[in-house]
Structure 1
Amino acid sequence: MEPSPMVWHTQVVPLETELEKVSSHPECSICFNTYDNVFKTPKQLDCTHTFCLECLSRIMTTSMDPQNSKIPCPFCRQPTTIPKKGPPALTTSQEVLCRLPIHQQHEEPVWLDGERLCYQRPIEMPGVPAFCICVDIGASGHSGVSSSQTRPRLSLMERMMDWKRLLIFIFLMVLLLGIVLWPLQCIVTTGSLRCSPQNMHMSTTTASTTTVTMLL
């Protein structure tokens, strides 16, 4: 009797499942980075093509016609008029934004500051001032993401508090150095931790010797 042939079972992943995984993380067609709700916000052009805010801002700084304030679509070359407030004021693709994680489905306010895109990070802890995160979009900037953090504009009272803290810190450092270095100086010069009494004794002995010598 011939042995029965062995049958191997393999699990095949449906193509639709793979497509769902890819579509669940939409990416910008220029930089291939995943969209978000800050610098990578999906912005839709007049031709309905969608790209991230940062890439469109870079295109604006390098290829926009200053006379008509329009940028061409990287795919179809159809021009789109840039609003007065810059690329952040372009239409946001709600279709793409709704496919992001829940915490990224609310667009954060981003503004154009010269050749930088800026976003003010909200206060996360009490007493900690908010700070701005900026991305350079200038023609001289790097091709990749180059973010820089800038200090917020502090009020006069906050600046005075910073100066007071700095003065207190300097005073404490000087006091600490004096406490540590004074015994070391005594040990090096006199060989003992008692500097003042021994110095006074030596001065008195020297004065007495000088007086006796003058009398003789």
Structure 2
Amino acid sequence: MALNVHALSESLACSFVDLQCPNGQFIYVSGEGLNASAFLPLCGGLLQAQGQYPGEMRFSFSCKNKWGTRITPMVQWPDKSFTLGLSQALAWQRSGLMVRPTIQFSLCPTFGGTNPGLWAELIHSLKEELSLIFGYTFVTHPSAFASISFGRSKWNGNVGSSRVVMRVDAPLSSFGRPSFPVQINSGIEF
């Protein structure tokens, strides 16, 4: 268990407290509130709870079936919505002693809440540090998107600090305009 406390100055007012334990983390940020996340291995899957006070809570259970399909039912509160995430690797490539997915399809319908609808994406990892992502969202304002990711990122299954993600979002209705966000190192966004 680790405890990190960062003080604003020599006063006793804390701006940031981070408490980590083996199955979760609690973070208090002055002015923002308390963020908490916890997980528990259960029945061959992973039960997770994430939330912010004041704010919303999310409960999910993630598991894989014998065909490699990742199934993740999720409940958001107080939004009162239910999401069923389905993810399937369609092609694999050997990387040293391990095998990694090179083409992956994800489908995520959401029922209830403030933004019900369907989200789908196809991820193609050309190399270990290069991914192409194509997707579609059918929600209140439907849109299509395409993205390219350079470097190690969450999309191609790697962990690292160096990455650049360029994305194009195009609305499929008369509402909104196309956008082109660029993200660098997951911390700076234009």
TM-score w.r.t. length of structure 2 = 0.27
TM-score w.r.t. length of structure 1 = 0.24
Q: Over alpha carbons, which structure has the higher Rg?
A: 1
Higher strand share: 2
